[in-house]
Amino acid sequence: MSADNSTPAPDGSTETPAPYGTGAGSTPDSPRKRVRVHHLREYKDRGEPWPMLTAYDMYTAELFDEAGIPVLLVGDSAANNVFGYDTSLPVDVDEMLPLVRAVTRSTTHALVVADLPFGSYQLSVEQAMGTAVRFMKEGRAHAVKLEGGRDFVPHVEALTSAGIPVMGHIGFTPQSEHNLGGYRVQGRGESGETMLADALALQEAGAFAVVMEMVPAEAAKRVTHELAIPTIGIGAGPHCDAQVLVWQDMAGLRRGKAPRFVKRYADVAGVLSSAAASFADEVRRGEFPAPEQSFH
Ligand SMILES: Nc1nc(=O)c2c([nH]1)NC[C@@H]1CN(c3ccc(C(=O)N[C@@H](CCC(=O)O)C(=O)O)cc3)CN21
Ligand SMILES: CC(C)C(=O)C(=O)O
Ligand SMILES: [Mg+2]
């Protein structure tokens, strides 16, 4: 087989209208347009908090898009929520790309952010550029996200100059868990100043938003106030411009003890396990398939 040189059919994803829009750029009669990074700045300026969720596949991306979630993150948390690794560190670009492509293919409204996995951007600005370009070209992402503060200013500058919107991520950065000493709150006391400096450096470098993970609410409030770009909190209190959760945590699919910042809005694990148990039971009793599910 030769390499696939064909131009992929345009999926028209940036212009395809969703039928029942209420989000950015819509009126009751006009279809929703794709959320753009400048809309997020407008939400901040209007003081309207907005939600972000992770998504890793077609059905969840469609549902969350229709529910009006303006930003979907294809997180490297796919490592422990899709692929079965114990941390985010092992997942790589080749595993992440098909998930990103699935999510962009399945949305018409949400801005889709691809999370750059550990080891795919830290080596050099050139490596960051190469990886980000793959997520934009092959994954059809609308933006990328990377973890780190001042040390990543050159990377963020290069990507934004090349036309790639970048979301930052500071506070607890899971890709550095071994350096940070485990899953711990960051930015307490003096390190709150460091965090603010990191946030300002990312903004100056051109980042369009910054995630703050597991930081005290007061420190996150200060950063949110000082930045013109939106802050997105996860375990960062109520004063951030936006809030993000991993969807399996939000919907109660993940089992076991969740981090303290999680709120479960459903019991998807319970729904799925009882559905599987009912199916198994009916098969064992010979009740499924019934005549309705059979061909004659
Ligand atoms: N399902 C899932 N949810 C997440 O929020 C998430 C992932 N996966 N994978 C990547 C990272 C890892 N994250 C984590 C993982 C664990 C804790 C945790 O155990 N937190 C405890 C201890 C906090 C402390 O000791 O200060 C907590 O109770 O919040 C926090 C963030 C956040 N991200
Ligand atoms: C929790 C969010 C911010 C994330 O980075 C991820 O899901 O990978
Ligand atoms: Mg991540």
In terms of domains, do 286 and 174 share one?
A: no
Ligand 2, CB within 6 Å, residue ranges: 54, 73, 75-77, 115, 169, 211, 234, 244, 246
Task: For residue 108, name the pLDDT band (cuts at 50, 70, 90).
Answer: very high
Does residue 20 lie within any of the structural domains? Answer: no
CA of 147, closest atom in ligand 2: 5
Does residue 10 lie within any of the structural domains? Answer: no
In terms of domains, do 176 and 296 share one?
A: no
CA distance 113 to 141: 6
Contact 100, 120 (CB under 8 A): no
pTM of the model: 0.91
Nearest-CA residue for ligand 1 atom 18 is 259
In terms of domains, do 113 and 223 share one?
A: yes
Residue-averaged pLDDT of the chain: 91
Taking residues 203-208, what's their average pLDDT? 98
Taking residues 7-29, what's their average pLDDT? 44
Q: Which residue has the higher pLDDT, 127 or 22?
A: 127
In terms of domains, do 147 and 283 share one?
A: no
Does residue 191 lie within any of the structural domains? Answer: yes
Task: For residue 7, name the pLDDT band (cuts at 50, 70, 90).
Answer: very low
- Ligand with an atom nearest the CA of residue 55: 2
CATH number at residue 99: 3.20.20.60
pLDDT at 292 over 60: yes
Q: Which of 64, 173, 37, 65 is nearest to 115 (CA)?
A: 173
Amino acid at 101: R
**Ligand 1 centroid vs 26 CA: distance in angstroms?**
36
3 state DSSP class of 114: strand
Nearest-CA residue for ligand 1 atom 8 is 77
Annotated binding-site ranges = 76-77, 115, 145, 147
In terms of domains, do 192 and 135 share one?
A: yes
Question: pLDDT value at position 4?
Answer: 43
The CA dihedral of 179, 146, 71, 40, to the nearest 10 degrees, is 110
Q: Is 213 a catalytic residue?
A: yes
Lowest mean pLDDT, pick from 72-76, 117-121, 207-211, 255-259: 255-259
CA distance 92 to 281: 39
In terms of domains, do 98 and 197 share one?
A: yes
Contact 73, 145 (CB under 8 A): yes
Does residue 124 lie within any of the structural domains? Answer: yes
Task: For residue 256, name the pLDDT band (cuts at 50, 70, 90).
Answer: confident
Does residue 7 lie within any of the structural domains? Answer: no
Question: pLDDT value at position 2?
Answer: 40
CA distance 116 to 169: 11
Q: Is the CB of 76 under 6 A from ligand 1?
A: no
In terms of domains, do 123 and 140 share one?
A: yes
CA distance 287 to 50: 46
In terms of domains, do 294 and 239 share one?
A: no
In terms of domains, do 273 and 261 share one?
A: no
Annotated binding-site ranges for 3-methyl-2-oxobutanoate = 76-77, 115, 145
Number of domains in the chain: 2
Nearest-CA residue for ligand 1 atom 2 is 246
Nearest-CA residue for ligand 2 atom 5 is 75
Establish whether this prediction's ipTM goes over 0.90: yes
Question: pLDDT value at position 8?
Answer: 44
Does residue 21 lie within any of the structural domains? Answer: no
Does residue 285 lie within any of the structural domains? Answer: yes
Q: Is the CB of 184 under 6 A from ligand 1?
A: yes
Bridge partners for 27 per DSSP: 30
Catalytic residue among 138, 213, 226, 292: 213
**Ligand 3 centroid vs 174 CA: distance in angstroms?**
7
Percent of the chain with pLDDT over 90: 85
Lowest mean pLDDT, pick from 1-5, 60-64, 86-90, 279-283: 1-5
In terms of domains, do 273 and 192 share one?
A: no
Nearest-CA residue for ligand 2 atom 7 is 75
Does residue 293 lie within any of the structural domains? Answer: yes
Q: Which residue has the higher pLDDT, 291 or 22?
A: 291
| Structural domain boundaries enclosing 277 | 268-296
Amino acid at 137: K
Question: pLDDT value at position 31?
Answer: 58
In terms of domains, do 273 and 158 share one?
A: no
In terms of domains, do 141 and 279 share one?
A: no
Ligand 2 pocket, mutate which of 115, 173, 186 (most atoms under 8 A from CB): 115
The string of pLDDT tens digits covering residues 144-182 is 999 999 999 999 999 999 999 999 999 999 999 999 999
Task: For residue 141, name the pLDDT band (cuts at 50, 70, 90).
Answer: very high
